[in-house]
Each structure stands twice: as C-alpha cells, then as structure tokens.
Amino acid sequence: MPTATQFVPGLEGIVAVQTKLSHVDGQKGRLIVGGYSIEELAGKVSFEEAAELLWTGTLPSSKESSSFRKELAELRTIRPETLELIKVARHSPPIDALRMACATLSLDLSNPNDISPAADLAVAKRLTARFPTVVAAHARLRQGHDPIAPRSDLGMAENFLYMVFGEVPHPAVAKALDTYWTTVMDHGMNASTFAARVIASTRSDMVSAVTGAVGALKGPLHGGAPGPVLDMLVDIQSADRAEAWLKNELNAGRRIMGFGHRVYKVRDPRAEVLSKTAEALAGADLRNRKLYDLARAVEKTALKVLDEAKPGRNLKTNVEFYTALVLQSAGLVPDQFVAMFACGRAAGWCAHVMEQHAQDRLIRPQSEYLGPQNLVVSR
C-alpha cells in the first residue's frame, strides 16, 4: 500500500481505474472501444450493437442484434411523471431537462437499489433507450408541440429524429446520427465517466450514478462546447476571412473552438470519423455542402495559425469541430448538442457503472490540507 501521497492537479497522469471498456492513446491518436478501433465500429455497426459490445464484451450476431434492438425499442416509452417534469422544464436547456428527467427513470423499477449484474444490465437498457425519448419530448414541448410517441419499428437514431420532426428521416441522416452516437459512446476516464464511477463505487445505484454523470457532462470544459463551433463558422463567413478572424481571437486571449484536447496530441480519431460523416451528409444538400467546405478550409487555416501562435502545444482538431456539422445537418440546434452527446455517452456510462459495481471498491483519494492549524478560540 502506498505510504506517501503527491498532489497532482487534475489527477493528470494518475491511473485511478482499470477497465476493459475503452482505451485512449493520445500520442498515436487511437481510441479503442471494446477491443475495436473507433474507425472500425462507427458507421459499420449500429449504436445498439455497439452498446451491447460494451455491456457484454462481444458484438451480437445478426439474430442476437435483431432481438436486442427490439428489446431496447420496447423500453423507449417514458412514464407520465417523467413527461410532466419535462413539461415543467420545457424552457430549461435540454441538458438540464435531461438531468432532471434521468433521476425519475428509476420509478418503474421494482427494486431501484439492486446493483446485481442482471439488474444493472436491465437499467442500462432502460436508460439508453429512454434518453432520446426525453430529449425529443423536450424539443417538441419547447416549440409548443405535443411530444410524439416512440415507434418500435425504427432504429434508435431513426426513431429519435421521427419523434423530433414528426416524419421518418432520410436514411443518410439517421445513419449519420447513429454513427455520431457510436463515436462518442465511451472515451476512457473522462470527467463524467469518472463521476459515474465514483458514485457507483459507494454501491449507489446506476440511475444515481448516471444522473451525476449528466451533471458533469454539462460543464463547458467537458461536453458543453460543440455549439460555438457553428458560431465561429457563421462569423468567419468565407475561407478568405479565416486567418484574420482566427488571429484576432488568439490575440484577444480566446480559445479557438474545436481544437486542442487534454489527451490527444494528434488529430482526435473521432474527428476523423465525423469529418467523413459530415462529408457524406454534405454531398446530399447544397447548404450543408457550403458549410462543410467552409469548415474544411477553416480547419486547415486554424491548424496553421495555432501551430504558429502556440508552437509545441499540438492543438489539433477535436471531436467538437465536426460534431457541430453532423448535428446541425440533422436539423438540430446548438443548445441540443450536449444532450445529444449524453444520449450516446449513456451506453458507456452504464458500462462503467457495471464494471465499478463488479470491482466493488470505494474510490477514496486523499487531499492535501493547506489551511491553518492549531487555532485557538478567544472570546
């Protein structure tokens, strides 16, 4: 057992968890999920299949996949109490409505405190199936429309877009959203996943742990930044304005959104997947094509400007940059982006809660006291 402690800000480089779920190699730009590179999974298997990989350790066969997707589809409907809460929160940001609603998703569990492997798997299915229903209902309500009930004959991404817009989406759009959710479903020991594992390590239940994870994801240093990428592209307007605009931002001490990552020192592999996804969507829509072409030009210029202004920092394209294009092309608006991230990451959070419950070890680090000592009360 360690006999000495050392303060490391932000736990940088500290290994707090051993996991079989995902691995992030920041030097080589690799993300491994369930043994597969993210490039091998995203767009090649459905989000539901990738979730089962995380939860069981293996990809399902075609027959198993069909059964699993049907099972998740039948769990999409949310309780009246959850819907009433969403109505109350309809003017709140989507991620706040999701956080509030998440805490109610244990209401139909016979034993919400059961953290056995079978109970955890059952709750994981409920949470992952219902997150999109919550976000879609909130989107409808804040626009003054009634929520649309989920359909069990559609895939998860396809059904979500149907519940938001009232019509079955183009297959390419549904596939793009499915690819996005798979791309962001797990990413090592990020802040929200760590928060979920800390809560689970107390033997608290999965719904509590995932609710805490949603709260962590809300922070702009974690999941709350894809929207400003679109603001940046709108402000830049054209490729010939990019360099001056970017230099002005840096001179003003502001971040260039969509670039730089705490772990990756090369291009984020998720950005690679989503850039191809955005390109495929752009090919079918002239408006999206124009935005995509501008984004590629801005990306190229930004990498050059950042390398010149901050040499050695290795500020490369991260997942936020092309997330903004993919979600905007699907018809979603920036303040929904973090909640959309949560819909994908929920599968990973649930997998980590299962793993933490199985390890059954309380996460309890030390702190270094810097305050006064030996004070005396004098009255």
Active site residues: 261, 320
Concatenated DSSP letters of 40-90:
HHBTTB-HHHHHHHHHHSSPPPHHHHHHHHHHHHTT-PPPHHHHHHHHHTT
Distance CA 70, CA 9 (A): 45
Q: Sign of torsion, CA 348 349 350 352?
A: positive
Q: How far is it, in rounded angstroms, from Cα 146 to Cα 139? A: 10
* d(C-alpha 8, C-alpha 264), whole Å: 19
Burial of residue 314, with CB atoms counted within 10 A of its CB: 0-12 exposed, 13-18 middle, 19 or more buried = middle
Please enumerate in sequence order all residues whose Cβ is within 8 A of that of 222, keeping only pairs 6 or more positions apart, or say none.
190, 191, 192, 216
**Cβ–Cβ < 8 Å for 351, 54:** yes
CB crowding 346-377: b at 16 or more within 10 Å, else e: bbbbbbbbbbbbeeeeeeeeeeeeeeeeeeee
User: Which DSSP category does 265 fall into?
Assistant: S
Q: How far apart (Å, rounded) are the C-alpha atoms in residues 223 and 192?
A: 9
Q: How many C-alpha atoms does 307 have within 13 Å on its Cβ side?
A: 10
Question: Which residues on adjacent β-strands are paired with residue 33?
Answer: 22, 36
Three-state SS at 303 = helix
Contacts of residue 122, Cβ cutoff 8 Å, sequence gap at least 6 = none
